[in-house]
Structure formats: C-alpha cells, structure tokens
Amino acid sequence: MATPIQHIEKDFLLKTLYDENIPLMYLNNRTEYVLTVNRPIKNEIYFQSNNPVEGLKPKKKMNLMFDYRGRLMSFSVKVTAIKDNSIITDVPEALFRNLIRSYSRVTRPQDLQIQLSFLGDRYSLHYPKLSEYEPVELDDFINQMDPNNFSGLIKQLAQWVKNIASGYKLVIFKGVKPTALEERLLAQTGKAIFLPSPLSKLPQTDPYPQKRLITEEMFLRYLEDTGVRENYLNDTLDRFIKTKFDAGILSDVWVPILFQEYIIGYIHAWINQEGMPPFNFSIINILYQFAHIFAFSLKLNGYFESGRLKNEPLKGTVIDISASGMLFAYPLASLPVTLLPDSELALKMIAPNRTIQCNVKIVRQYKENSMGYFGCRFLDMAPEDVRFLFECIYGKILTDSDAAFLAGHV
C-alpha cells in the first residue's frame, strides 16, 4: 500500500537526496544497484551508480526506492541519457510513501513465463454493458426460492408484488434496446430508480454500502451528458417527476437485473391506488435479491450459454513484477470482459525448473491511450513459491527479515 506525497514534501525529499547523499536501491535483471544523486536537482536528475547498469538505455523506466528516517519511499523515472558515468533521468511526477514496506517492482526475467486466465465462467453478451460492476453474492434469500424452477420464480414474484404494489413488469432486453428514459438510466448506471412519492424528489444520498440508487445528482449529471443545458436541468427533473404524478403513480421503483457486467433487464413495480403504503427501502432490498436470483436462474437454465467464452489465457504484457504482485497491460479494445478492482484471475508462472500457480486480485487500474494497466496482488501463494519467486526475480536468497517486508505493494 502506498500514498502519494504532497508536492511541497516531494520537492523537499528530492533536494534531500542530494544534500544528504541518500542511497537509492534499483533492482534490474536480478542485480541490486545502489545509486546516489550527484548534482542538485533542477529539471533533470543525475544519478551515479555503484556499478554500470547492464542493459540500461534511454527511455527505459527505473523504479527506485530509498529509506528516509525509517520511512520507505519510492518513485519512477524515465532515463533520458547516459554519459560521463552518470544516468540522467526526468524528474518524477510523484513520490510515494509505502505504508507497508515491500520490495520494488522489477522487469520480468526473460526466462519467467506468465499466464493469466479468468476464474469461473465469463460471457460476451448482446446486452447493455456497464463500465463498473461488483460481484454478486447470493445470501439467505436464495433459501426461500428454487433457482432451477424458472416459472416458479415468476409466480413467486407475482404473488409477492400483489401484496405491496398495484402492478409490476419484468422486462428482458432481448433483441431490444433501452428506449424510455428510465431504461436508459438503468442501462448506463446499473442502479435503481426509487421514487417513494411524486411529491418528493429522487434520493439525495445512497444509504447502501454497495451503492444501489440513482441519486438526484446522478440524474442531473445524466441529463447534462445527454445535452440538457445547465439552467434547464432542475426543470427537466421536475417534469420527469410530474409525469409520474399525472399518470397517477403514487410510488415507483425500477430495479436492474444484472449478470456479471451486463444489465439484462429490470423489474418495475408501482403503486397507483389510494390507501396503499408507499414503497420504502425494504422493497429495494427484496427486488435486488430477486433480480440476482432471477439472473442466476437464467444462467442455470442455459440462457447465456451461447455467449460463454472459452477460458483461454489473456495475452497481456507484464510490465513489471515484485515479490507480492505485478503490473500488466492489455489493449482495452481486445479485452473480452471488463476487469475492475477486486476482480480475480488465475495465474501460472513458469520458470525453467518450477511452475507456480495461484490467484491474483486486481487492486488498481488505469488507462493510457488504448491500453489498460492492471496492478495485481498475489493471493494465497505457497510459502515455498514466495521464496522461489523472490530469488528468481531479485537474484538473492530470501531472509526472514525480507519475508516480513513482503505485503501489499504492487
């Protein structure tokens, strides 16, 4: 885990590297180099290495670490030139303070092959696709229903809704695109529309830890993205709510049906009869659970089978690797499914005399042009494999004190 250092502190630390002649560690091709700054830092940094760095060329990135008063700092720079026994680089955009000490990322050794593949079934489907999604965990609600009995689920939904709503619709986006404003909102956000009363507005905040509701702010930003001018946003929202009132809707809820990163449909329930209590948050909880079970039932009954992907290795590029994780890149246009933080992948590392298998979790992601970059943390790697990997990428034996430092930073 690392946190960026503020700009003022960054300038101070860079100046201190020269003033106090602080050594920096650079690991490359299983060799550890010690660098020092040999000129005051202005627009470039001049480093002096204890030994010539094998294979170092201009444009290559260097990941450097140093200890400042017991705090481990790290930063990355790009080599601009090598002359007169000096390595000249640009000035880093940011320095990072490692809250949990860990070893530096290094270039993957050429004799270490790395293969990544998806865990479980993945699908490529013709439904609206969300830019973000969270894995779904079915809870005790599934014990009350049989996901294998598809028609039975529909009957249970109808019977349940009959007691708390005037009516409902269950819509699947099969062969059709979202057209109504509510449908387009669901398809873009993957969240529910909740209007307890047309005399009130949309929720100002979302009380759920895993956000489920379209708030008023989200609705206004959606309108703005569709071209509504800023001075008309609130009027447009008011008209949207007024259409509910004019249609006799006294309480309204639209809940998306999600399957992996796709929104495959929705459940719409409403009240238009006087005397019925308005919807509250409990209906959101129940409809979300039903939507999860409904999507699970569709999967069990083979509804998505034609879109199942073969679990072939991802042919990404490993940028660098450490003893606790790695960074890999993949062209976003070719990525078969969405990869987001907390997604897990299966990993196989093949060395000349050993194969390591474990899972990895994506802990951070960023985009640059057409490439996606994914920082991964190794999960549940066997201790003997950790020791082997350490020695493989750093070229030295893992000591007990080294083992205590291996945690979290990828």
What pLDDT is attached to residue 73? 83
For residue 29, which phi and psi values (nearest 5 degrees)? 50, 50
The interaxial angle of helices 181-189 and 216-225, nearest 10 deg, is 100
What pLDDT is attached to residue 277? 93
Q: Where are the beta strands (DSSP E) in 11-141?
A: 24-28, 31-37, 45-49, 61-68, 71-83, 86-89, 96-98, 113-118
Q: pLDDT below 50 — which residues of the chain?
A: 1, 99-102, 405-410
Indicate whether this model's pTM tops 0.85.
Answer: no
Write the DSSP string, 258-272.
EETTEEEEEEEEEE-
Looking at the domain that runs over 2-98, which CATH code has it been given?
2.30.110.10
DSSP label of 123: B
Cβ atoms of 195 and 253 within 8 Å: the answer is yes
Q: Other CB atoms closer than 10 Å to residue 55's CB: what's the count?
A: 10
What pLDDT is attached to residue 138? 58
Topology (CATH level 3) of domain 113-122+309-405: Thrombin, subunit H (2.40.10)
What pLDDT is attached to residue 81? 95
Strands 45-49 and 86-89: antiparallel
Q: Please tell me whether residue 167 adopts helix, strand or coil conformation.
A: strand
* Of the candidates 350, 372, 348, 373, the residue with the CA atom closest to the CA atom of residue 360: 348
How big is the chain by its Cα radius of gyration, in Å? 27
Q: Which CATH number fits domain 140-306: 3.40.50.1980, 3.40.50.970, 3.30.450.40, 2.40.170.20?
A: 3.30.450.40
Half-sphere exposure of 133 (CA within 13 A, CB side): 22
Tokens at residue 398, please? 């893992």
What pLDDT is attached to residue 28? 81
- Per residue in 156-201, pLDDT (tens digit) is 888 888 889 999 999 999 888 899 999 999 999 999 999 999 888 8
Compute CA 52 distance to the chain's CA centroid, rounded to the nearest angstrom: 39
Domain residue ranges of the chain, discontinuous segments joined by +: 2-98, 113-122+309-405, 140-306
